[in-house]
Structure 1
């Protein structure tokens, strides 16, 4: 597991032995960020990482210049790992919160330019996440909500679904506020 690009390109993250997560593969992460690069200037966005796990997605945004990243993770050891890594790399503007993602969504009133959720694939209520995000209006104007999932889930008919990218069994569904007419680059 490594940081793909930016200031800390190539930095290896030693995944903790206690880690209860399934980190996004470097291949899938690199492909996703190639798409994101076409739409966003990392210096100017507010980013939310749900089910942050090891923090790998957060570090990718921070390494590319994002200065407002919030990572949400409920497992204490993962939170400690994220904080330790973020401090080691001297990332500024990185908030790490230990809480349940669903409680965070319900209580949040802040809109983000990019929200990434990489929940555990067997999560029973995974399919509810897009509805909760848009019900709470957490996606800023032209922002994106990206949900990582496997082929057991299909969001193509969701009212906010815009696009998806598949890399092996990893699928990133991208949701926007107004999918009709959204620019496909």
Structure 2
């Protein structure tokens, strides 16, 4: 995998074999950050990366100047690798080994962007619970955005705070915001149809 923009643009990072991960592809990641670029200036954003895996998304935010970043994963090998990369590149990433739901329940911090990439095979109700808990615990800042990466077989557009979604190959990114203005939502939907 490679960092696509920012201070370390073009830098390749090679995770060890055997990690239980399915990293977001470079093409999907580039498309995702093109969308986010229209909404945010990345410098100084507080980021929460859930099911962080190899840390792929965290490194991209760090390269663009976001700080601090919290990367949460339940696998020891993934957390160890993220800590190694963060130390090597001097990224302000705190890698935490934890069950994601346990982390959300105990979290006392709010974030500008929350990204979650659960295993695609998880039941739809798990994806829904993640969204419900994040908003119930008020982990997202008022002008913030939550992004869930999932397969086409998982439907999240019925969830409260759903804003829009983008599809790239076999991956879908669903975006959630605190704003509830229906006119804004309709404009976004029309923009999506024109693309």
Which category of TM-score, normalised to the shorter sequence, fits these structures? over 0.9
Looking at structure 1, the residues matched to 59 and 128 of structure 2 have their Cα atoms a distance apart, in angstroms, of 26
Whether the aligned pair in 2 keeps the contact of 1:161 and 1:179 (CA below 8 Å) is no
**CA–CA distance in structure 1, aligned partners of residues 180 and 150 of structure 2:** 20
CA deviations over 1:107-159 (Å, ceiling 9, x no partner): 11211000000011112322321111111111100100100000111111212
Q: SS of the residue aligned with 1:30? A: helix
When normalised by structure 1's length, the TM-score is 0.95
Q: In 2 relative to 1, CA 149–12 (structure 1 residues): closer, same or farther, beyond 3 Å?
A: same
**Separation in structure 2 between the aligned mates of residue 138 and residue 36 of structure 1, nearest angstrom:** 19
Look up the match of 1:174.
175
Whole-angstrom distance in 2 between the partners of 1:107 and 1:12: 34
Compared with structure 1, are the counterparts of its residues 32 and 179 closer, same or farther at alpha carbon in structure 2 (3 Å cutoff)? Answer: farther
* Alpha-carbon distance in 1 for matches of 2:2, 2:47: 20
Paired positions, count: 184
Q: Secondary structure at the match of 2:43?
A: helix
Contact 2:116 2:148 in 1 (8 A): yes
| Unpaired segments ≥5 residues, structure 2 | none
Pairing 1:78–2:61 present: no
Matches within 5 A, 1:22-171: 22-91=22-91, 93-124=92-123, 125-171=126-172
Q: Deviations over 1:62-102 (max 9, x none)?
A: 000112100001100111100001111111x3211111100
**What is the CA–CA distance in structure 2 between the aligned matches of 1:15 and 1:87, rounded to whole Å?**
15
Distance in 2, Cα, partners of 1:67 & 1:105:
19
How high is the TM-score relative to the length of structure 2?
Answer: 0.90
Q: Where is the helix percentage greater, Structure 1 or Structure 2?
A: 2
8 Å CA contact 2:162–2:176 kept in 1: the answer is yes
Stretch deviating more after TM superposition (111-120 or 11-20): 11-20
